[in-house]
Chains A and B, each alone.
Chain A
Amino acid sequence: MDIAVQVRGLHKSFGELQVLKGVSLDIPNGEVVSIIGPSGSGKSTLARCVCNLEDIDQGEIALYGRRADKGGMSNKEQSQLVGMIFQQFNLFPHLSVLDNIILSPMKVRGIAREQAISKAAELLDRVGLSEKIDSRPNELSGGQQQRVAIARALAMEPRIMVFDEPTSALDPELVGEVLEVIAELAGSGMTMMIITHEMSFAKDVSNRVVFMADGAILEQGPPEQVLERPQEERTRTFLQRMLPHHTNVKGAEI
């Protein structure tokens, strides 16, 4: 079995603050892993380290067996292994939806324009935004922007997708449309690492749920086990606090 993401003994501090205290995590090819936990638990930092957006202090990160931390691979090589979705979407505001999507396939992978455009059209159809191909990001709702961001990431044909709280910046009524797209992607067999606060979503799409607190993994296992019969006191407290939110999410998902 291919290991898509391998994290070994990862330490990361910001100044005095120790954010990750020796995290190890393997994600086999094709697995969907949701990472939950209170804010400040280090889950976003873990995602950012996997995507090489942070310099790690100690440990090792490998993607499909290739060192991915600190200059282990080029941006180009990394972009074809792992795509990332940000909380704030980070679409390029000066470019149309189409140009957002085709820019890096053309510049980085050297794909011909016509080919990149037909791929972009296909991806926009997949996220349900075909009619927005010529729009500017500021003409789209947050949910639409995030769906474009997903199409943009998929255009690089990465083998892994990392989602860093993809719906946290969205108005509640826009959360559902984005989760739907992510769920469809999970069903297609893509390897995914999802940082999320949407508990019922995590339960529905993941093969495994990881609970993090204070920069370490406290508990992990099948979603039913971690979310319904948590072994650790910290997990229980966290889930109880998430409960009101939990019911909200169910409502928004329909």
Chain B
Amino acid sequence: MSLDFSVISPYIPMILTGAWFTVKASLCSVALGSLFGLLVGALRVLPIAPIRWIAAAYIYVIRGTPLLIQLFLIYFGLPSLGINLNAFTAGIIGLSINSSGYVGEIVRGGIEAVPKGQWEASRVLGLSYVQSMRNIILPQAIRNMLPAIGNEFVTLIKESSLLSTLAITELTMAGQQVRSVTYASFETFIAVGLVYLCLTSSTSLALQLIERRWQTR
């Protein structure tokens, strides 16, 4: 068996277009997922039990079910309730919701790792719960959370390949299209894999730099 990458070279722009779409989808989902995850995580530690339970149940369901099923529910399921979303919107929503469950759990861990004395000191200094959370607890918690959040970003980039099942032409789908015209399966998916590797390693690198800056502060 021999590998011949020249067969797929005319299709490289197609793969890169798909990669660009993967980047866009991942960035949107990371941003929305983190924002929502921060909220879920903060609710998860709220001193009001019923709200805490709802947040815990949300995290439990999201983390306990496959992303693929979540995407199917949003894209194929919601229309039966009269909610029709285009594939891209459904994909971003699905990825963001999925990510928020994981980020929520990371946020909870990060918040709980801040020593109790920090809460007590801010309380006796008169800060309200929200003021303590925003000014004292979260800045310290986010520092604790950075490595885990970095992993979550990398995971999200890889899992965005499932958007291909919603007929979105992201990187994986682009690969399938190239394969179907060139029949060079091995070459195509090696190339696609390498592009994913580039995306994930540059993300890791960027996050490591951010982390280092935060620690030296």
Is B120 within 8 A of A75, CB to CB? no
- A40 at interface, CB cutoff 8 A: no
A80-99 residues with Cβ-Cβ distance < 8 A to B are: 80, 82-84, 86, 88, 90-94
Interface residues on B, range: 10 to 19
Q: Across the interface, name the chain B residue whose C-beta is closest to A53.
A: B120
> Which of B123, B126, B140, B143 is packed against the most chain A CB atoms within 10 Å?
B126
Is B123 within 8 A of A53, CB to CB? yes
- Identify A79's interface contact among B126, B140, B143, CB under 8 A: B126
Is B139 within 8 A of A51, CB to CB? no
- B151 at interface, CB cutoff 8 A: no
Is B127 within 8 A of A92, CB to CB? no
Task: Answer whether A108 and B121 are a contact pair too, CB < 8 Å, given A94-B140, A94-B143.
Answer: no
- Identify A104's interface contact among B118, B120, B125, B139, CB under 8 A: B125
Shortest CB distance B172–A (Å): 41
Q: Across the interface, name the chain B residue whose C-beta is closest to A84.
A: B124
Give the chain A neighbours of B122 by CB distance below 8 A: 92, 104
Task: Answer whether A88 and B123 are a contact pair too, CB < 8 Å, given A94-B139, A94-B140.
Answer: no
Q: Across the interface, name the chain A residue whose C-beta is closest to B123.
A: A75
| CA–CA, A18 and B126, complex, Å | 29
- A29 at interface, CB cutoff 8 A: no
Is B127 within 8 A of A86, CB to CB? no
Q: Across the interface, name the chain B residue whose C-beta is closest to A99.
A: B135
Is B120 within 8 A of A86, CB to CB? yes
Is B128 within 8 A of A76, CB to CB? yes
- B131 at interface, CB cutoff 8 A: yes
Is B143 within 8 A of A83, CB to CB? no
- Chain B 107-136 per-residue mask, 1 if CB under 8 angstroms from chain A, else 0: 000000001011011111111100100011
Is B121 within 8 A of A92, CB to CB? yes
Q: Across the interface, name the chain B residue whose C-beta is closest to A104.
A: B125
| CA–CA, A76 and B131, complex, Å | 11
- List the interface of chain B (C-beta within 8 A of A): 115, 117-118, 120-128, 131, 135-136, 139-140, 143
**Can you report 11 residue pairs joining A to B where beta carbons are below 8 Å apart?**
A53-B124, A82-B124, A83-B124, A90-B120, A94-B140, A103-B135, A107-B127, A107-B131, A108-B125, A108-B126, A109-B126
- List the interface of chain A (C-beta within 8 A of B): 51-53, 75-76, 78-80, 82-84, 86, 88, 90-94, 103-104, 107-109, 149, 152-153, 156
